[in-house]
């Protein structure tokens, strides 16, 4: 789900070894080498907006300037962070990697048998430095897609982090519901949720809401004191580097489209398990849409969730696997004044799923 990106990330992002031990990162790196058997090095890039791959392997979330990690099959990892030498002290608590250096030192690095991960996120100038470091060859293998396949399956430590993010999302939504029931306006309702998320340790909070009954969703551009019914909202929070997201519908008068969306969402949840084809889930949702049509924000009825909100979509014909975490979204609209978008987060099991964040109505 695309949302407005903050100018500067300010939430807590320190590496917590008791939550995400070094052995977890070693396991991930070893899996990367197995998927790239001819590589001796991996050069991993990240920015404040696009950093899922870098965070997966280093725990680092760049807060302003980009960063690059170098992983070596036979040597110690290195991390190069932007912002100059003054940023080194701020970066060290964010990662398990001990060797942290200024980003400009990357210009002196030359590697062989190197794969690139996430280099498409960088500026033209920095990408040239990265290409030079990876062996002065523009034909170096891009292994981003291979890493995303590994990232889709969540370890117990990752599932625990996502559950922690889901708890923050739950706290945020609860405060929004309370404010809505008190008759507060849109700004007060949404800010109540954002405040609760921050108070519960969120690194980042993203919100969207609707002023036209759910037909379109927007970020904050100005204060809005109106009381809106129904109020369609979307909230995403990050905790321990992992995201949780949810669509919720707040209304004092439940309508047919709201009940229909809720029922079809439950049907989709019931059908979600390892081996379920995404095409089949889409058919479950589409078959329950009449007399409405699918809402544009729920065009992809299911999406992977983890270290990024904008993860690459599933390939055509893909099926779910055990230990994936996904967001299931159901949205219906008549194109005008009747709209409803609801969602849930689930962890996929062999014989079903665990609901990490349940559908919300008020």
> Percentage of the chain with pLDDT > 90?
77
Mean pLDDT score, 73-87: 89
Check residue 74 and give its pLDDT.
92
Rounded CA separation 71/57 (Å): 9
Which SS3 state, helix, strand or coil, does residue 326 take?
A: strand
Mean pLDDT score, 70-78: 95
For residues 92, 95, 97 and 103, what is the CA-based torsion angle, rounded to 10 degrees? -60
Mean pLDDT score, 134-157: 84
Residue 354's CB is within 10 A of a number of other CB atoms, namely: 12
* pLDDT tens digit sequence for 347-358: 999 999 999 999
Which CATH fold would you assign to the domain 156-361? Answer: Creatine Amidinohydrolase (3.90.230)
Which two tokens mark 108? 């002196």
Mean pLDDT score, 156-177: 97
Residue 19's CB is within 10 A of a number of other CB atoms, namely: 13
Omega into 222 within 30° of 0, i.e. cis? no
pLDDT at 98 over 60: yes
Which of the four pLDDT bands, split at 50, 70 and 90, describes residue 9? Answer: low
Check residue 318 and give its pLDDT.
92
pLDDT at 138 over 70: no
Check residue 265 and give its pLDDT.
96
Cβ distance 325 to 344 under 8 Å?
A: no
Rounded CA separation 54/98 (Å): 15
Range(s) of the chain covered by CATH 3.40.350.10: 22-152
Check residue 110 and give its pLDDT.
85
Q: What mean pLDDT, rounded, does the chain reach?
A: 92
* pLDDT tens digit sequence for 169-179: 999 999 999 99
pLDDT at 137 over 60: no
Residues written for the chain: 362
Which of the four pLDDT bands, split at 50, 70 and 90, describes residue 10? Answer: low
pLDDT at 235 over 80: yes
Q: Which is nearest to 294 in space by CA: 309, 304, 310, 283?
A: 283
Mean pLDDT score, 34-42: 94
Backbone angles phi, psi at 249, to 5 degrees: -120, 115
Which of the four pLDDT bands, split at 50, 70 and 90, describes residue 266? Answer: very high
Mean pLDDT score, 181-192: 96
Q: Which is nearest to 198 in space by CA: 235, 246, 157?
A: 235
Rounded CA separation 277/98 (Å): 42
pLDDT at 136 over 60: no
Beta strands in the chain (DSSP E): 41-46, 67-72, 78-81, 99-102, 114-117, 204-209, 231-239, 242-250, 293-294, 302-304, 325-333, 339-349, 352-357, 360-361
Mean pLDDT score, 2-12: 63
Residue 316's CB is within 10 A of a number of other CB atoms, namely: 7
- Angle subtended at Cα 199 by Cα 225 and Cα 88, rounded to the nearest 5 degrees: 115
Range(s) of the chain covered by CATH 3.90.230.10: 156-361
* pLDDT tens digit sequence for 268-280: 999 999 999 999 9
Rounded CA separation 81/88 (Å): 7
Mean pLDDT score, 297-311: 92
Domain 22-152 is classified in which CATH homologous superfamily? Creatinase/prolidase N-terminal domain (3.40.350.10)
Check residue 1 and give its pLDDT.
59
pTM of the model: 0.93
Which of the four pLDDT bands, split at 50, 70 and 90, describes residue 139? Answer: low
pLDDT at 19 over 80: yes
């Amino acid at each position: 789900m695309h949302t407005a990106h903050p100018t500067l990330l300010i939430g807590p992002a320190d590496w917590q070894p008791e939550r995400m031990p070094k052995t977890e990162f070693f396991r991930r790196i070893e899996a990367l080498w197995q998927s790239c058997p001819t590589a001796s090095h991996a050069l991993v890039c990240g920015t404040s907006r696009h950093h899922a791959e870098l965070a997966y392997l280093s725990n680092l979330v760049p807060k302003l300037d980009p960063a690059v990690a170098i992983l070596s099959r036979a040597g110690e990892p290195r991390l190069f962070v932007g912002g100059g030498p003054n940023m080194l002290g701020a970066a060290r608590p964010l990662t398990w990697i001990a060797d942290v250096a200024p980003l400009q030192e990357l210009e002196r690095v030359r590697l062989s048998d190197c794969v690139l991960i996430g280099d498409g996120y960088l500026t033209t100038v920095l990408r040239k430095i990265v290409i030079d470091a990876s062996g002065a060859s523009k034909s170096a293998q891009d292994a981003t897609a291979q890493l995303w396949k590994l990232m889709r399956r969540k370890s117990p430590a990752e599932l625990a982090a996502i559950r922690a993010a889901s708890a923050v999302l739950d706290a945020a939504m609860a405060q929004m519901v309370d404010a809505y029931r008190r008759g507060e306006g849109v700004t007060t309702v949404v800010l109540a949720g954002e405040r609760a998320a921050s108070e519960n340790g969120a690194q980042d909070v993203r919100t969207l809401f609707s002023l036209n009954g759910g037909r379109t969703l927007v970020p904050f551009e100005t204060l809005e004191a109106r009381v809106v019914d129904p109020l369609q909202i979307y909230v995403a929070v990050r905790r321990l580097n992992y995201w949780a997201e949810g669509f919720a519908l707040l209304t004092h008068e439940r309508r047919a489209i709201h009940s229909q969306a809720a029922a079809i969402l439950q049907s989709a949840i019931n059908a979600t398990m390892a081996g379920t084809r995404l095409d089949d889930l889409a058919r479950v949702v589409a078959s329950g849409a009449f007399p409405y049509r699918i809402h544009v924000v729920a065009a992809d009825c299911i999406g992977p969730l983890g270290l990024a909100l904008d993860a690459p979509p599933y390939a055509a014909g893909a099926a779910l696997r055990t230990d994936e975490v996904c967001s299931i979204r159901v949205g219906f609209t008549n194109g005008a004044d009747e709209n409803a978008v609801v969602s849930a987060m689930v962890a996929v099991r062999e014989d079903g799923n665990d609901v990490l964040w349940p559908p919300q109505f008020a």
